[in-house]
């Protein structure tokens, strides 16, 4: 029986991501869907496939001359935390979540971008790391770079809080199987709406909490593919905008020497 179960590896590679030193750039983009890793890598000047294990699909390449990596995280906080932990161990220095969200403010249109300045910690993973009173906030330099990129590209965007849930259904106010609901589930949209939370998503709170604990810059840009107030939905509405903004924000972070290439 091998020893070292507290820090697991596979032949010198990280246990889940199957990456090692030199495989990962200083800035990593984090979509949820592995197919979006393909999409993101296709927008770069060059890319090379690194690994695909479970939900984690990884490419490293260059965007406008700067090194960049994309790693899909799958859905939710548990797998996001695994990705963050293992990426940091092989040299990642900053991370930007690139994803989709369901808006809970009427004025947010489908395809608009939501740049998260912080997240309501409705996930369970971040609670495994630190007490719930610990704030989940994005790095102001990453938020600034995302805003600058969105403005330069001419995309509509909103800056504010998201709510990260562990449940796509009851956690976001949708009925479960056979219409199952709880009082808390039926009230969650209105509760967050009046508190000016912008949208639901499922990963930012975990990312921001680990960012604060471990001291690396992190941010999040999501496109609104649904509006829960107006009851509108469009698959992947504006995902290409979020990708372009994340790429440009990465360049900005390098050029402002927030992160060294």
Whether 158 is a known active-site residue: answer no
| Cα angle 36, 42, 142; round to 5 | 65
* Domain coordinates in residue numbering, the chain: 11-255
Asked if 138 contacts 117 with a C-beta cutoff of 8 angstroms, the reply is: yes
The confidence score (pLDDT) of residue 1 equals 40
Whether 174 is a known active-site residue: answer yes
Which residue's entry shows tokens 């609901």? Answer: 181
* Assigned token pair, 22: 């030199």
The confidence score (pLDDT) of residue 112 equals 98
Specify the CATH class of 11-255 in words: alpha beta
Pairing of the two strands 66-71 and 157-165: unpaired
pLDDT in tens, 28-72: 999 999 999 999 999 999 999 999 999 999 999 999 999 999 999
Asked if 224 contacts 241 with a C-beta cutoff of 8 angstroms, the reply is: no
DSSP state of 134: S
Phi, psi of 56 (to 5 degrees): -100, 105
Whether 86 is a known active-site residue: answer yes
The CA–CA distances, whole Å, from 57 to 92, 166, 187 equal 16, 21, 36
Which ranges of the chain have pLDDT less than 70?
1-4, 6
From 16, 36, 121, 158, active-site residue: 16
The CA–CA distances, whole Å, from 111 to 37, 45, 93, 155, 158 equal 19, 25, 29, 9, 11
The confidence score (pLDDT) of residue 110 equals 98
From 89, 141, 174, 251, active-site residue: 174
* Assigned token pair, 109: 């249109």
Report the alpha-carbon distance of residue 136 to residue 247 in Å, rounded.
23
Whether 228 is a known active-site residue: answer yes
The confidence score (pLDDT) of residue 4 equals 64
Phi, psi of 145 (to 5 degrees): -65, -40
From 36, 55, 86, 203, active-site residue: 86
């Amino acid at each position: 029986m091998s020893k070292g179960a507290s820090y697991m590896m596979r032949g010198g590679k990280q246990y889940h991501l199957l990456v090692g030193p030199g495989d990962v750039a200083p800035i990593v983009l984090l979509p949820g869907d592995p197919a979006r890793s393909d999409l993101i890598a296709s927008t770069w000047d060059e890319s090379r496939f690194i690994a695909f294990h479970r939900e984690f699909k990884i490419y490293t390449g260059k965007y406008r001359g700067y090194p960049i990596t994309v790693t899909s995280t799958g859905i939710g906080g548990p797998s996001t935390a695994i990705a963050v932990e293992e990426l940091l161990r092989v040299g990642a220095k900053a991370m930007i979540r690139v994803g989709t969200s369901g808006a809970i403010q009427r004025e947010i249109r489908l395809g608009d971008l939501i740049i998260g300045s912080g997240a309501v910690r409705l996930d369970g993973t971040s609670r495994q790391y630190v007490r719930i009173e610990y704030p989940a906030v994005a790095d102001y330099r990453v938020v600034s770079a995302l805003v600058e990129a969105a403005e330069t590209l001419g995309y509509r965007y909103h800056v504010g809080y998201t709510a990260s849930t562990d449940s796509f259904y009851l956690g976001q106010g949708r009925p479960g199987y056979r219409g199952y609901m709880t009082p808390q589930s039926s009230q969650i949209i209105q509760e967050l709406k009046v508190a000016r939370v912008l949208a639901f998503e499922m990963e930012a709170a975990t990312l921001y909490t680990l960012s604060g604990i471990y001291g690396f810059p992190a941010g999040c840009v999501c496109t609104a593919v649904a509006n829960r107030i107006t009851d509108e939905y469009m698959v992947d509405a504006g995902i290409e905008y979020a990708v372009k903004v994340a790429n440009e924000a990465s360049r900005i972070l390098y050029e402002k020497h927030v992160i060294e290439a």
